[in-house]
């Protein structure tokens, strides 16, 4: 027994000696974390702008809304290169990577769909990446250029198991320089770019008053919170969207004014340009001096007087012609469109003959038109009110304001230099309303106004032809006791 135990002990010691002798020292090689430079033949790299051109050529030439880089495609062996401008770290992006073709002064971008979350830990903001096009497909997804795998006539997410083979990181990480734009500059080809808006603010109805809004935590926010962002320089507006899954959805919107860096995109339906951010740190509203318009707000009243000071139901106007006569001033500030009379008995029926203005397919960079009443003396009687009706047709990219001026001299040349205040109590049809319906302004009280003045309806189109719809106006009456 002792001999057997001795041999067991000897065998154990020998095994330990052999194991220890195989280890030369206590330093182990750790796998390298260094990212190697990407070496791809530059003749195999195409620009993201070229990618868009190839898709549009396929759409226009062959009627196909999707282009696949398979073995039958001569560009099957090509790559695109871009810089990451999206981040899902704060939850506002999900399983998508947005790339633009340069870190500064870009002119094209693409959304890459990937079945991976999170992505920011691997493909961080500013990282240069190469995307292999082999067996991928490109199409417009929710209005923006998108890359993924083909799923019928749509693009779907790249599988996680294939992601590193498709998207290769380069060591280069750049500071992304936002592209300065104004809201009036927006168009479809600028989507998927990282932009800067200067001198903007959230609309006063979103952030002021007793119930200011959050980014995306209101009861009626379904998938995205949509808030109105406006330019202090031009008055142009755009929808600012935030996912209801964003970490910061419950934060209140900033009340000030300043710059905003974010991405230009479309809404889910692909029918309205939106601006969004990776997180709120790119919103720098450091000025407390807002640019809200002056307001005339006497309130609303339950009934109106019997004396008509001014009225027009437009029944004497000639359809297809500019509104004229009856003391009207019909002024074109920008573009070629004007307020005109029309008749329609279809789904979007007029109220007999009505007035309308729109810049859809006008070709104008901007359309601004004024329709102004004759002067009204508010000291000659009491109990003044105004009522009117409005409707709209696909007016997402345009606005209609009802304004009052006491210092305009009646000369069209001085309209834009006069002081105009918003009649904030008057209801104007909203974008989400059914286009076939007409909506009343309410009985808008004007009795707090003294002296004389003019009331105007001002139409502003953004210049985005596909979405500058039409506003319709009718049954205008200014009454008093």
pLDDT at 2: 42
Nearest to 263 by CA among 231, 237, 241: 241
Tell me the per-residue pLDDT of 293-349, one tens digit each, with 9 for 90 and over.
Answer: 899 999 999 999 999 999 999 999 999 999 999 999 999 998 899 999 999 998 889
Nearest to 200 by CA among 178, 177, 183: 183
Q: CA dist 370 to 192, 331, 375, 426, Å?
A: 35, 5, 15, 17
Mean pLDDT of 63-82: 95
Q: Is the pLDDT of residue 16 over 50?
A: no
pLDDT at 11: 52
Tell me the per-residue pLDDT of 406-438, one tens digit each, with 9 for 90 and over.
Answer: 999 999 999 999 999 999 999 999 877 888 899
Distance of CA 151 to the CA centre of its chain: 27
pLDDT at 94: 98
Q: Find the angle CA(86)-CA(57)-CA(154) to the nearest 5 degrees.
A: 55
User: What residues contact 13, with CB distance under 8 A and at least 6 apart?
Assistant: none
Average pLDDT, the chain: 91
- Number of continuous H segments (helices) and E segments (strands) in the chain: 4, 31
- φ, ψ at 315 (rounded to 5°): -70, -20
pLDDT at 362: 73
Tell me the per-residue pLDDT of 353-378, one tens digit each, with 9 for 90 and over.
Answer: 999 998 877 777 778 999 999 999 99
Q: What distance in Å separates the CA atoms of residue 12 and residue 14, rounded to the nearest whole number?
A: 5
pLDDT at 1: 43
Note whether 235 and 164 are within 8 A (CB).
no
Mean pLDDT of 269-273: 87
pLDDT at 431: 74
Mean pLDDT of 36-46: 93
**Strand 439-440 and strand 109-113: pairing?**
unpaired
Mean pLDDT of 157-173: 97
Rg (C-alpha) for the chain, rounded Å, is 31
pLDDT bin (cut points 50, 70, 90) of residue 468 is low
Q: What distance in Å separates the CA atoms of residue 256 and residue 291, rounded to the nearest whole number?
A: 9
All structural domains of the chain: 43-173 (2.40.50), 179-287 (2.40.50), 295-480 (2.60.120.200)
pLDDT at 276: 99
Q: Is the pLDDT of residue 400 over 70?
A: yes
pLDDT bin (cut points 50, 70, 90) of residue 210 is confident
pLDDT at 205: 84
pLDDT at 21: 45
Is pLDDT larger for residue 222 or for residue 139? 139
Q: Is the pLDDT of residue 120 over 90?
A: yes
Q: What distance in Å separates the CA atoms of residue 112 and residue 149, rounded to the nearest whole number?
A: 10
Note whether 202 and 230 are within 8 A (CB).
yes
Mean pLDDT of 76-88: 98
Q: CA dist 176 to 60, 126, 274, 279, Å?
A: 34, 6, 20, 15
């Amino acid at each position: 027994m002792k001999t057997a135990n001795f041999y067991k002990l000897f065998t154990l010691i020998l095994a330990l000696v052999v194991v220890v002798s195989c280890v030369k020292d206590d330093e182990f090689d750790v796998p390298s974390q260094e990212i190697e430079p990407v070496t791809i033949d530059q003749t195999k790299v195409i620009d993201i702008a070229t990618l868009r051109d190839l898709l549009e050529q396929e759409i226009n030439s062959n009627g196909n809304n999707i282009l696949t880089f398979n073995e039958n495609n001569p560009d099957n062996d090509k790559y695109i290169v871009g810089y990451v401008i999206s981040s899902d770290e704060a939850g506002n992006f999900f399983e998508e990577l947005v790339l633009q073709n340069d870190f500064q002064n870009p002119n094209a971008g693409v959304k890459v769909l990937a079945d991976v979350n999170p992505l920011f830990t691997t493909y961080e903001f500013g990282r240069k990446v190469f995307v292999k096009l082999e067996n991928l497909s490109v199409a417009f997804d929710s209005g923006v250029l998108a890359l993924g795998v083909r799923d019928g006539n749509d693009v779907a997410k790249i599988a996680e198991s294939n992601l590193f083979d498709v998207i290769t990181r380069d060591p280069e990480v750049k500071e992304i320089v936002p592209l300065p734009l104004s809201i009036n500059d927006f168009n479809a080809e600028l989507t998927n770019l990282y932009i800067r808006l200067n001198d903007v603010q959230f609309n006063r109805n979103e952030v002021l008053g007793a119930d200011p809004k959050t980014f995306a935590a209101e009861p009626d926010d379904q998938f995205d919170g949509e808030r109105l962002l406006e330019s202090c320089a031009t008055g142009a507006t755009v929808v600012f969207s935030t996912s209801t899954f964003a970490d910061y959805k419950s934060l209140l919107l900033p009340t000030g004014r300043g710059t905003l860096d974010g991405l230009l995109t479309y809404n889910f339906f692909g029918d309205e340009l939106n601006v969004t951010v990776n997180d709120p740190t790119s919103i720098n509203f450091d000025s407390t001096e807002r640019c809200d318009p002056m307001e005339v707000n006497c309130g609303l009243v339950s009934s109106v007087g019997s004396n008509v000071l001014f009225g027009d139901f437009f029944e004497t106007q000639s359809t297809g012609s500019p509104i004229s006569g009856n003391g009207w001033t019909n002024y074109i500030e920008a573009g070629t469109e004007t307020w005109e009379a029309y008749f329609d008995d279809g789904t979007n029926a007029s109220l007999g003959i009505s007035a309308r203005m729109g810049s859809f397919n006008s070709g104008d960079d901007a359309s601004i038109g004024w329709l102004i009443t004759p002067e009204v003396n508010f000291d000659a009687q009491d109990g003044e009110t105004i009522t009117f009706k409005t409707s709209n047709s696909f007016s997402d990219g345009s606005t209609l304001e009802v304004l009052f001026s006491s210092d305009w001299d009646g000369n069209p040349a001085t309209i834009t230099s006069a002081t105009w205040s918003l009649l904030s109590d008057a209801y104007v049809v909203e974008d989400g309303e059914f286009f076939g319906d007409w909506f009343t302004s309410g009985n808008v009280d004007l009795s707090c106004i003294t002296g004389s003045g003019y009331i105007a309806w001002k139409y502003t189109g953004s210049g985005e032809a596909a979405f500058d719809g039409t506003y319709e106006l009718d049954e205008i009456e200014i009454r008093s006791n």
